Chain A
Amino acid sequence: MGVYTGDWKLHLPEGAGAEELFKSFKEKAEALTVKVIRVDSKTNAEKAIIEEIKAANIKLAVGVPMTLVDALSIQESLKGDGIEFSLDLDRNLIEQAQFGVSQFDLGIAELGTIVQDAESVHKRLVSMLPPTHLAVISTKTIIETFADSLEVIEKVYNGEPSNFIAFVTGPSKTADIERVLTIGVHGPGRLIIVCVDE
Chain B
Amino acid sequence: MPIDNAFKVRINKALNDSNLRGALGKFGDVFPESRANVYQGIDFEELRGIIARNKANAANNMEALVDQFEANIIKRGGQVHRAKDGNAVFQILKDIAKTRNAKKLVKSKSMASEEIHLNQHMEDTLQMVETDLGEWIIQQVNEKPSHMVMPAIHLSKEKCAEIFSQALGYKVEADIPNMVKLARKTLREHFMTADIGLSGCNIAVAETGTMCIFTNEGNARLTSSLPPVHVILVGYEKLAEKFSEIAPIAKALPKSATAQTLTSYLTMISGPAETLKDKEGPEIVKKELHVIFLDNGRRELLNDPIFKEAGQCIRCCSCLNVCPVYQLVGGHVFGHIYAGGIGSLLTGFFNSLQETDKVQEMCIGCGRCRDFCPGKIDIPNLILEMRNRVRKEIPLPGMQNFIVGSVLRNKGLFQFGLRQASWASAPFTTTGKDGNKYIRSLPFGFKKLTDWRSLPGFNSTPFREKIKSIKQEVTNKKGKVAFFGGCVIDYAYPEIGESLVRVLNKVGFEVVYPEQTCCGAPASYMGRPDVAKEIAMQNLQHFANDEFDYIVSACPTCTVALKEKWPKLLEGNQENKAIADVVAEKTLDFIKLMHTLKKAQGGAWNEVAATCDVACSAPIKVTYHDSCHLNRELGIKEEPREMLVAQSHLSFMEMEEADRCCGFGGSYCIKLPEISTELLNRKLRNIENSRAEVVAVDCPGCLMSLRGGLDTKKSNKRVLHCAQLLDGKY
Contact = CB atoms under 8 A, between A and B. Distances in A.
A153 B207 CA distance: 14
Contact of A169 (B133, B222, B262): B262
B88 interface: no
Q: Interface of chain A, helix or strand or loop or mixed? A: loop
Contact of A170 (B225, B264, B270): B264
A147 B245 CA distance: 9
B119 interface: no
29 contacts: A3-B274, A121-B274, A121-B276, A146-B247, A146-B262, A150-B246, A151-B244, A159-B208, A162-B273, A163-B271, A166-B221, A166-B266, A169-B264, A169-B266, A173-B264, A174-B216, A177-B176, A177-B179, A178-B157, A182-B180, A184-B180, A184-B184, A185-B133, A185-B184, A186-B184, A186-B191, A186-B218, A187-B221, A187-B265
A86 B137 CA distance: 35
B151 interface: yes
B693 interface: no
Given A166-B265, A186-B187, A186-B217, A174 B180 contact: yes
B674 to A, nearest CB: 26
Given A154-B243, A168-B265, A174-B216, 4 more contacts: A95-B188, A180-B176, A182-B176, A185-B219
B105 to A, nearest CB: 16
A34 B434 CA distance: 61
B275 interface: yes
Interface in B163-179: 176-177, 179
B183 interface: yes
Contacts of A89: 276, 281-282, 284
Interface in B254-282: 258, 261-276, 279-282
B270 A163 contact: yes
Q: Which of A2, A92, A146 has the most CB of B within 10 A?
A: A146
Interface string A179-191: 1101011111000
A185 B77 contact: no
B512 interface: no
Contact of B244 (A28, A147, A162, A168): A147
A78 interface: no
A58 interface: no
B217 A187 contact: yes
Contact of B269 (A164, A167, A184): A164
B243 A91 contact: no
Interface residues of A, number: 53
A164 B273 contact: yes
Interface of B: 23, 26-27, 76-77, 131-134, 137, 150-153, 155-157, 160, 176-177, 179-181, 183-184, 187-188, 191-192, 207-208, 210, 216-219, 221-222, 224-225, 243-244, 246-247, 250-251, 258, 261-276, 279-282, 284, 286
Interface in A97-149: 110-111, 113, 118-121, 124-125, 128, 146-147
A169 B192 CA distance: 24
A119 B274 contact: yes
Contacts of B267: 164-167
A161 interface: yes
B636 to A, nearest CB: 35
Given A162-B270, A169-B262, A169-B265, A176 B151 contact: yes
Contacts of A167: 262, 265-268
Contact of B225 (A125, A162, A169, A175): A125
Contact of A119 (B153, B177, B273, B282): B273
B183 A185 contact: yes
Given A119-B274, A186-B187, A165 B268 contact: yes
B133 to A, nearest CB: 4
Given A121-B276, A161-B208, A186-B131, A173 B157 contact: no
A164 B225 CA distance: 10
B217 A178 contact: no
A42 B257 CA distance: 40
Contacts of A187: 217-218, 221-222, 264-265
A7 interface: no
A90 B284 CA distance: 11
Contacts of B184: 184-186
Nearest first, the 6 A-B pairs at minimum CB distance are A187-B218, A176-B134, A167-B266, A164-B273, A163-B273, A185-B217
A118 B265 contact: no
Contacts of A171: 264
B262 A174 contact: no
A177 B179 CA distance: 9
Contacts of B274: 1-3, 119-121, 163
Interface string A1-18: 111000000000000000
A178 B176 contact: yes
B252 to A, nearest CB: 11
Nearest to B262: A169
A81 interface: no
A128 B247 contact: no
B273 A121 contact: yes
Nearest to B160: A177
A177 B275 CA distance: 33
Contact of B284 (A121, A128, A178, A184): A121
Contacts of B286: 1
A146 B261 CA distance: 11
Nearest to A186: B218
